[in-house]
């Protein structure tokens, strides 16, 4: 069921504790990530968030220099940005922001939200979309409680991913289970790392990422050489890979 933009979230959207969403409904969703490359699972998550949360739009925010990645992106920021723009071009409620790419130094989620809040103005409430597995790492993020104060955190469930350490989560964000929303989405077993590995091996990636993105990858000759970090992903393909 699609919820009218700007209205309350649909009946299936609950907090981690199972309660009703707190506070006023969000109007703009934020989906950040390296998008190396963007793929269909990213687009499905954004569309589900738009529909279930009653958002006016979802903004994709490609990362510039993600501080938490052990390996640097396989494609330059300009290429990743171009691929995101191609992927969302035909969706009127998707847009792209370059706030993280434009910012010098590491990208932190709390800074992304602050920058976008200034851009949108105080009347818009932002929803920050993150993967279920990220809940286990959120205590390592920069000022996670400040992030939760600035926006509505939304955790997207992923098949096969265990629940986080609730004690650690509550220590990072007091009252987290009553403040963070859980979103169910028809997630696909697609990952950016597996796509890179397939391209490096000369295998097709159609139906994993939009055709326009595939065309751009071919034109630019991206991902032709498999990186060391992708070899493991080829042996054990990840599910979702929202932040990759």
Domains of the chain: 14-187 (3.40.50.620)
pLDDT of residue 5: 57
pLDDT of residue 57: 98
pLDDT of residue 232: 43
pLDDT of residue 155: 96
pLDDT of residue 118: 97
What is the arithmetic mean of pLDDT over 188-212? Answer: 96
Mean per-residue pLDDT of the chain: 87
pLDDT digits over 4-51, tens only?
Answer: 555 567 666 899 999 999 889 999 999 999 999 999 999 999 999 999
What is the arithmetic mean of pLDDT over 122-135? Answer: 95
What is the arithmetic mean of pLDDT over 186-201? Answer: 92
pLDDT of residue 119: 97
The reply to whether omega before 37 is within 30° of 0 (cis) is yes
Confidence of residue 236 (pLDDT cuts 50, 70, 90): very low
pLDDT digits over 150-185, tens only?
Answer: 999 999 987 778 899 999 999 999 999 999 999 998
Rounded to a whole number, what is the largest CA-CA distance in the chain? Answer: 49
Helix ranges (H only) for the chain are 40-53, 77-88, 99-102, 109-120, 144-150, 166-172, 176-179, 192-200, 211-220, 228-235
């Amino acid at each position: 069921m699609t919820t009218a933009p700007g209205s309350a979230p649909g009946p299936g959207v609950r907090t981690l504790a199972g309660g009703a969403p707190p506070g006023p409904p969000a109007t703009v969703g934020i989906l950040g990530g390296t998008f190396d490359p963007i793929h269909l699972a990213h687009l499905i998550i954004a569309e589900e968030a738009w529909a279930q949360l009653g958002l006016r739009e979802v903004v994709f925010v490609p990362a510039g220099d993600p501080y938490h990645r052990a390996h640097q992106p396989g494609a330059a920021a300009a290429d990743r940005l171009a691929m995101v723009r191609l992927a969302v071009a035909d969706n009127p409620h998707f847009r792209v922001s370059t706030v993280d790419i434009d910012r010098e130094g590491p990208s932190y989620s709390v800074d992304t939200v602050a920058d976008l809040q200034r851009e949108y103005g105080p009347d818009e409430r932002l929803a920050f979309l993150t993967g279920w597995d990220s809940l286990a790492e959120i205590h390592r993020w920069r000022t996670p409680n400040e992030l939760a104060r600035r926006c509505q955190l939304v955790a997207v469930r992923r098949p096969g991913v265990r629940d986080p350490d609730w004690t650690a989560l509550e220590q990072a964000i007091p009252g987290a289970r009553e403040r963070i929303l859980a979103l169910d989405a028809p997630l696909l077993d697609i990952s950016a790392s597996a796509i890179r590995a397939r391209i490096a091996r000369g295998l097709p990636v159609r139906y994993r990422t939009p055709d326009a993105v595939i065309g751009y990858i071919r034109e630019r000759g991206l991902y032709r050489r498999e990186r060391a970090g992708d070899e493991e992903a080829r042996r054990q393909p990840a599910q979702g890979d929202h932040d990759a």
